[in-house]
Structure formats: C-alpha cells, structure tokens
Amino acid sequence: MNHDRQEPELPPARGPVSAAVTAYLRGTGPLPRADEAGGAEPYGDDLQLALYLCYELHYRGFADVPAEREWDPGLLAVRAALEQRFLAALRADTPGHDSLDAALAGLLVEPVHGTGVSHHLRDEGELWQLREYAAHRSLYHLKEADPHAWVLPRLWGRAKAAMAAVEFDEWGGGRAERVHARLFADLMADLGLDTAYGRYLDAASAEALAIVNMMSLFGLHRALRGALVGHFAAVEITSSPGSRRLAEALRRTGAGPAAQFFYDEHVEADAVHEQIVRHEVIGGLLDAEPYLATDVAFGMDATGHLEDRFGERLLADWRAGRSSLRVPLARELAHTS
C-alpha cells in the first residue's frame, strides 16, 4: 500500500476532450475548443473526466502538473464550457419540487421496501461488490468534506457557524486520526484496497465522477451556494440510515473492524449533523437570503438524481454478474489488518 504519494498520476483519457485537457496539463498539446468541450455528452465519461481533472487542480493536483495550471485562463474557459453543459443537464433532468418543504419531506421518508445500493449490499451483497463500492466512493471520501468547505466564505451568521461546526466534525474534531478521510483510508485497507489518493480515478464510472464534480461545481461558485447547502443537507439527512445498512453489510461479509467503524461512526455523527444542517445551516441561510430556497431545493434534487443514476449503474452491473468499475479489481481479497 502506498501511503506517501500525495499527488496522483494523470489518468488515461476517455475521449477527445479529456485527451486534450490531459495533453495540455502535460504540456504536450493544445486545449480543446470551448465549443468542443461544451458539446460533449453531459453525463458521459469524456466530459466528466475532463471536468474532474480541472477541479482536481483546486485540491491536490496531479504529479508533474505545474501548480500554476490551477488558474490558467484558457483552462478555466474550457472548464466553464464543461460546467455549463453539465449544469444545464442537471437543471433539465432534475425533477423540481413545488417548495423546499416538499424537497425536504422527500428526504425524510425512508421507503418501507428499499431497493437501493445500500439495501442490496446489506441483504445480499458480496465482498467484491463492497470493495468496488469503496473504490468508487474513494474519489470523494479521501477528501471528505473538502468540496463543502468552499461554501464557508459565502455564508455568514448562523449558517456559517453551523456549517463550520459540522465540517469540524468531518475533519476529526482536531484529531488527525479521526479525520473521516483517514477513517475511510482505514476502511479501504481492511478491504485490501490501495489507499493512495486518486488511485481509483481511472477505474471509477462516469456516474461516480459526476457526484464528486457536482460537489465541486456547487462549492466553487458563489452563485450556487444555495445548491451546495441543499446538496449537503441531502447527504446528511440520508446518510445515517444508509450508513447503518452499509455497516451491517460489512459485518455480515467479515470486512474487518476499521471498515465497519467508518460507517458506524457516520450513523451517530450524521444523525446529529442532520438536525444542525436542517435547522441552523438551511434556516440561517434562508433567514438571511430567503430567495435562495429554490436553489436549496435544486441542490437536494440534483443530488438525488445523480445518486440514483450511480445506484442504477452499480445494480445493473452487479446483477448481470459483471464489475461496475472500468478497471475491475482482482476478486482475491488480501486483508491488511
């Protein structure tokens, strides 16, 4: 396992746009034209990887890519074209709610007979499927809470204080060994996965990339601060019951104590976070800026839309007996704990 490398390698391209972005980052070719970037399939591998590459420059970057590329004007123009294409698709494809209360109500009701990924993994999932799920989710969980931090300077008063309190918990409450990204790396180690940051970028599906890209899109744009708060609320409200099911799945399959601990921790923590986000983050934001209610609902709905697409992709692949990853993992499990 590689615990030392901080900057991941650039992954192979998935189409002409991501190929041009990759070449530009390597210094070996020109950027794609803005119209070419803006014409890519909004949920497809090519656009989602190209957009992920642009966003990752604001996090840890890539090996041998100059830090100055983060604010390269030409690259930012390409990123804007990719964002506009993606955001337009989200707005067109997300079923809207009549009110924020309706969007919240939909999140607060657990279906009696759930059929989602966490239900499948709890009831009949196999260890190889849990490993694939962790590999997909590692794109976010190894930088857990970081995309949401971008919204902090765009909030004030109650909303800022409450959001900062939740983020502080996500970052371990000041204890490095309790940072949630560290806990997820421990989960990965228990599952025999490589814990290096960005290790599974090439393997992850476009559906998994889209979820992380949505977080960065909402977080990096002040105009989308309401959508980021809505997304964050959707995650926190739905996390506790889903985490309980995943913890049960990991126990049933004998995944290891660190793997189980990650989701056990989220059952309790996110039940508390849900109340803070609903009453203080959303409440504080809308007390100050009531006109953002529609954006908050959009963030909730867009999160559900992309999570549903991701779940449908996983279940379709698994029920067909095939890997959900672009680069399948070895089925043999070598515990490292």
Q: What are the DSSP calls for 28-42, one per residue?
A: SSPPPPHHHHHTS-T
Which pLDDT score is estimated for 331?
Answer: 57
Say if residues 335 and 190 touch (Cβ distance below 8 Å).
yes
Same domain for 26 and 148, yes or no, is no
Of 78, 9, 73, residue with least CA distance to 50: 78
Low-confidence ranges of the chain (pLDDT < 50): 1-3, 332-337
- CATH number, domain at 259? 1.20.910.10
Which pLDDT score is estimated for 113?
Answer: 56
Same domain for 56 and 145, yes or no, is no
Which pLDDT score is estimated for 270?
Answer: 64
Same domain for 88 and 122, yes or no, is no
Q: Which positions ≥6 away from 252 have C-beta within 8 Å?
A: 122
- CB count within 10 Å of CB 257 equals 13
Does residue 337 lie in a domain region?
no
Does residue 11 lie in a domain region?
no
Does residue 311 lie in a domain region?
yes
DSSP 223: G
**What is d(CA 199, CA 193) in angstroms, rounded to the nearest whole number?**
9
The predicted-structure confidence for 202-257, as pLDDT tens digits, reads as follows 999 999 999 999 999 999 999 999 999 999 999 988 888 899 999 999 999 999 99
**What is d(CA 39, CA 82) in angstroms, rounded to the nearest whole number?**
8
Structure-token match 């009531």, residue found: 290
Which pLDDT score is estimated for 31?
Answer: 97
Could you list the residue range(s) of the whole structural domain that residue 66 is in? 16-92
DSSP 57-112: TTTT--TTS-GGGGG-HHHHHHHHHHHHHHHHHHHHHSPP-SSHHHHHHHHHPPPT
- Residue 93's φ and ψ, nearest 5 degrees, are -100, -10
Q: At what angle do helices 206-220 and 293-319 cross, to 10 degrees?
A: 170
Query: pTM of this prediction?
Result: 0.94
Does residue 299 lie in a domain region?
yes
Structural domains in the chain (count): 2
Q: Give the CA distances from residue 135 to residues 12, 52, 128, 272, 324, in Å, rounded to whole numbers and listed in that order.
A: 17, 16, 11, 27, 10
